[in-house]
Structure 1
Amino acid sequence: MEFHHVSVLLEESVSALVTNPEGVYVDCTLGGSGHAAKIVSQLNSLGRFIGIDQDPAAIETGKKRLANASCQVDIVQSNFENIGRVLDELQINQVDGILFDLGVSSHQLDIAERGFSYMQDAPLDMRMNPTAKFSAYDVVNHYSEEQLAQIIIDYGEDRWAKRIAKFIVEGRMNQPIETTGELVTVIKKAIPAAARRDGPHPAKRTFQAIRIEVNNELGILKEAFTTSIERLAIGGRLCIITFHSLEDRIAKQTLQQMAKGCICPVSLPICMCNHKPQIKVLGKPRVPSAIELEENPRARSAKLRVAEKIVQ
């Protein structure tokens, strides 16, 4: 099945990212190639585009959709935590722009057998890289009650985390929990009926937490953002699109740290560190327009942060 995904904040992100039609640009989350197609349309024959994704479906889609690009195109199957290695292997030292479009794609949600969705029954999977050994099945059936509760608290921010973890452990005692449908049933039993009537689907936060744990989504972000900033040329742009508060917090804090000047203790009367800011943050986070939200409700929590490299 072809990789279909509606790109969020498409115009805003690409117009902020591409400043040189002859530049080198990296899309760290190729997905359905929506952003990629827009980026390459802004580049001429001297430009170069690198698309990275760990999902083989995204790689195949990218090769098809970008086949007629006028610029040079490299499509690489890898996790974006390896961006430094990917650029080294392509013998590229510096680039003019890097884009991260975080979160799970519409395609992955819509393909039932990938096991990302609480709306469709499927094997418990949730691997963004289908060749990875560790899956949602392992988290649900092998984590202790304490571990389960902690990830649901940390990554799902669900007030019923401890109760959900208790019910999961009890539910798997007789036989493993093997499908998304079975897990949804357990979660619904754990959350009181009155609480289920209001707000989002009762399984939404737990599924988000398990997905983040399976793919180590938050653990790789800070280093990937930092490496990306190091590989930008002066004037190069970093664009980060986030979809929930946890990843947005990491993006915000990393950019703030890299934009700092002096890092001396406040007790020192003069600066001794000579630390220079590497980037400047460009404006406030941008959010989808009312028109975009009407066309794509999944974009409602999206934020775009943009930074520019100012010193090597």
Structure 2
Amino acid sequence: MRGRAWAWAWALLPLAACGGPEPEGRGSDDPGSSASGPSTSGSSADVDSSASSAAATSTGTEADGSTGTETEGSTGTETGQPLTCAVVDVEGICEPVARCPRGSTPFQALCEGPPSEQCCVPAAPPCSVDGAPGLCLPLASCPAGLQTTPGLCPGAADIQCCTDPATACDPLAMPLPNEGLEEQSWDPACPPGMVGAGEVCIDRFEAALVVLDDAGAVLGHHSPYFNPGSTRVRAVSLAGAIPQGYISQLQAEAACVEAGKRLCTDVEWLRACQGAGTTTYPWGDVPEPGRCNDARASHPVIEYFGTSDPWIWSELDHPCI
């Protein structure tokens, strides 16, 4: 569940990218340049310190303006046909969510490719148990290896919610999905993990956290699903990482300072999100279904609690979303 739900910015509000020094060769006295040194806080005045420090960016959009999103579904290299997938023995096809056939149910994280690509299952309504996605099937009991949960599906009593217990979420677990990832050099004028955005360098990816000892040495990665509390952490910009959620502005600012950076201002963050142009989205000014992980008939963030009722704020810090 965790790997499927983090992408909704309004739900998790992950730690935003940090801003750093000016790119080499770009003078600080240039018109419109931003004064950005390690000692500068740079935090936006209109960000509530009790809330996350994230900016509202679209899933899959990197700080250099590229989306990292493909528009075509995954295909078999030999046949050229869409790859197949399955949910509880019900076969589907891997397609961008906007191209799922009418009446089908999209399931996330079952296909290779960008987050917008889903397993489109053409039959049976969806259900969820402890965050594990499943299907409502007309069975007295689900097939071997699958969990049978009655009472969650509409219709007769012999309709069960069939789920794979292995995909359920344990809210007490603290997984470390970013282990083994390291910052890379993307722009020769900027420090590792950063790219030039106007007159400043900015983290290319939304920040994850590593844990530091008293001397400042890295001990390992912090779980992005839990608030770091008073643990000493440093912000890092990692390709393929789950960004840090559940964090306050003050904690985010301290993590950036540990990296010799600061939080971006609103203007700097907007400049990075716009990319080389000045469009509303990296690809243009008009929203396109399937570009972001939001054009869905259902979503695990909502399905985890087994209801589509409006949420209350207390659920937003739940570690399984």
TM-score normalised by structure 1 residue count: 0.24
TM-score normalised by structure 2 residue count: 0.24
Relative to its length, the structure with more helix (as a share) is: 1
Relative to its length, the structure with more strand (as a share) is: 2
